[in-house]
């Protein structure tokens, strides 16, 4: 039996600490039964579908075109920090299959990016990962249910997943003319998976009012907001966040380049190819024209 704040026991389908107040075996069994619902199953299989669409798209195109490597790095850290419980206790075959699949495929995707490095579109994948890692690490320490390594890493993974698709959205905002069906299916599958997981949380909250999973909810709300804006941009051509996100991204990169220049004597832009500054100016020009 898990106390409040513990990592889930082997028979719990969700990777969540037990909510406060669930201190009896019937309550744990009730939460477990509610966790196995149609929303959760649809979310799981949408996620799995998206992963295999990504692999198929990379194989079909024989390139990394249209895909953000930064998003793949973030997902790798999400999985490696969340699924350490595989080493902690035995679990259902369903959970083990999904966890091992996500871990192995995220590593495979990073290897593909390494092998196909020449096809990677760096000029569109501009999100600074430090700006995501640092706040998520801080939030994980401050909002963890208990100060154990596994619990803080689990909390970190939940916050990090909320921003994992942001580099891909920034990439898509900069790549507005792209029309690769595989990339679109991948992005919509990953976004849709979190929408159905949110429905899963709402369902459990209705059935058990004292159920709580704040870390997952925060990460989920953030991700759904970005996904909704992506859908608006993709299907209507209008976006509430695109101009703001790109402006913030440019400012962060300028600050980062300035710090690198002072510390190292040169920035990545200065050390890169000769057209990097031209690309940066072109991005600013395009961004300003979009805001008019």
Q: Could you give the CA distance from residue 272 to residue 275 in angstroms, rounded to a whole number?
A: 8
> Residues 92, 85: contact at Cβ < 8 Å?
no
Query: pLDDT below 70 — which residues of the chain?
Result: 1-34, 260, 264-292
pLDDT at 20 (0 to 100):
43
Closest CA to 276 of 245, 242, 253: 253
The domain ranges of the chain are: 25-239, 244-291
Coil, helix or strand for 15? coil
pLDDT at 206 (0 to 100):
86
Q: Could you give the CA distance from residue 29 to residue 35 in angstroms, rounded to a whole number?
A: 10
> Residues 113, 32: contact at Cβ < 8 Å?
no
- Its pTM stands at 0.79
pLDDT at 250 (0 to 100):
82
> Residues 290, 245: contact at Cβ < 8 Å?
no
Q: Could you give the CA distance from residue 162 to residue 140 in angstroms, rounded to a whole number?
A: 13
pLDDT at 284 (0 to 100):
52
> Residues 269, 259: contact at Cβ < 8 Å?
no
pLDDT at 31 (0 to 100):
60
pLDDT at 277 (0 to 100):
44
Q: Could you give the CA distance from residue 50 to residue 70 in angstroms, rounded to a whole number?
A: 17
pLDDT at 21 (0 to 100):
42
């Amino acid at each position: 039996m898990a106390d409040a704040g513990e990592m889930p026991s082997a028979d719990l389908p969700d990777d969540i600490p037990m909510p406060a107040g669930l201190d009896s075996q019937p309550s744990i069994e009730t939460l477990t039964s509610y966790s196995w619902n149609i929303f959760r199953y649809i979310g799981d299989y949408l996620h799995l579908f998206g992963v295999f669409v990504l692999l198929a798209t990379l194989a079909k195109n024989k390139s990394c075109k249209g895909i953000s490597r930064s998003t793949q790095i973030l997902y790798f850290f999400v999985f490696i920090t969340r699924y350490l419980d595989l080493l902690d206790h035995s679990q259902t075959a369903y959970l083990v299959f999904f966890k091992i699949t996500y871990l192995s495929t995220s590593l495979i995707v990073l290897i593909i990016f390494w092998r196909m490095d020449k096809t990677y579109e760096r000029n569109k994948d501009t999100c600074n990962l430090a700006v995501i890692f640092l706040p998520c690490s801080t939030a994980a320490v401050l909002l963890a249910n208990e100060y154990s390594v596994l619990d803080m890493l689990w909390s970190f993974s939940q916050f990090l997943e909320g921003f994992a698709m942001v580099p891909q959205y920034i990439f898509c905002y900069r790549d507005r003319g792209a029309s690769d069906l595989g990339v679109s299916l991948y992005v919509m599958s990953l976004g849709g998976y979190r929408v159905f997981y949110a429905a899963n949380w709402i369902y459990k909250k209705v059935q058990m009012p004292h159920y709580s999973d704040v870390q997952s909810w925060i990460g989920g709300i953030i991700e759904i907001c970005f996904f909704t804006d992506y859908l608006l941009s993709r299907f209507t051509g209008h976006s509430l966040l695109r101009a703001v996100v790109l402006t913030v991204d440019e400012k962060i990169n300028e600050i980062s380049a300035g710090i690198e220049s002072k510390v190292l004597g040169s920035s990545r832009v200065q050390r890169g190819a000769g057209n990097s500054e031209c690309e940066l100016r072109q991005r600013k020009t395009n961004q300003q024209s979009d805001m008019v």
